[in-house]
Amino acid sequence: MAITATEAQSQETMEQQQQQRGRQAQFDDRIQAGHQLAQNLCEYAGNSSQVVVVSVSKGGAVVGAVVAAELGVGVQHFYYQVRSIPCPSIPRLSLGSVAGDRSVRIDSMIAHSMGMDEMDASMLRRIAIVDRKLLRDQNAFYLPPPTQRQIDGRTLIIVDDVIEAGDTIREAAMHLRHFFRPRSVVIAAPVCLADLRKLLRRHVDAVVDIVSPLFVGPAARWYAGNTTPSLTEQQLLSRMFPDGSDSVGADDDRSSVDPDIGG
């Protein structure tokens, strides 16, 4: 059915307004975003000893720390780095994942379809390269990675500050579910691309956010300070990452494919 010129102009105006809103910072900082996100997660605060919060990026660690504190004193907060293992010939295709605690998950069906297996030399080389990068990032956090006992049978809330592609947090969800046996898995972020919500729901029990735009863009643009953290963020980051950088957003590796090992 054809639309009138007036309707077309109205639709164009709405799209322009939406794009303009998207260019504006949505949150003062990740502290504020964490408080707002925690309100949307209040249903999980009933039995805080059965809830675990795991952040998958440095920016997500700021949000996750606030969420954990808001949900209750019994809620533990961890930082857990997970990256996918890219296929040599198709870098965007994931052969599995490796985490900062040296655990490795191989999707044997995909690996075998590409003529590879867990003991393939090229795969082991890729795992080793990713593992070194993850260990460096993981060890910067003031707490060790979570253990199976700390997550087994509990509600696991996986937190990031922005979900723009979904690769990293999807890999983290599959990896954590595979190794830690949580009772349920929830993905939570202040900003999550609208189209990704449905895709991520295939891997978890719920996806919780504050803003679901049609276009996300760089993670930092949703926060007023961009990659420069507020004073409160700096103080929180310095406690969580005593030997690391105080910046957030720009240094977070959100791609599931490392350029050094793809192809």
Percent of the chain with pLDDT over 70: 80
Architecture of domain 24-81+138-240: 3-Layer(aba) Sandwich (3.40)
pLDDT of residue 225: 75
What is the structure's pLDDT at 185? 97
What mean pLDDT value characterizes the chain? 82
| Average pLDDT score over residue span 104-129 | 79
**What is the pTM (predicted TM-score) of this model?**
0.81
Distance CA 185, CA 82 (A): 16
Among 39-53, 80-94, 152-166, 228-242, the minimum mean pLDDT is found in: 80-94
On the 0-12 / 13-18 / 19+ scale of CB atoms within 10 A, 173 is buried
- What's 195-225 look like in SS3? HHHHHHCCCCCEEEEEECCCCCCCHHHHECC
Domain boundaries, the chain: 24-81+138-240, 84-134
> How do residues 158-194 score in pLDDT, each as one tens digit?
999 999 888 889 999 999 999 999 999 999 999 999 8
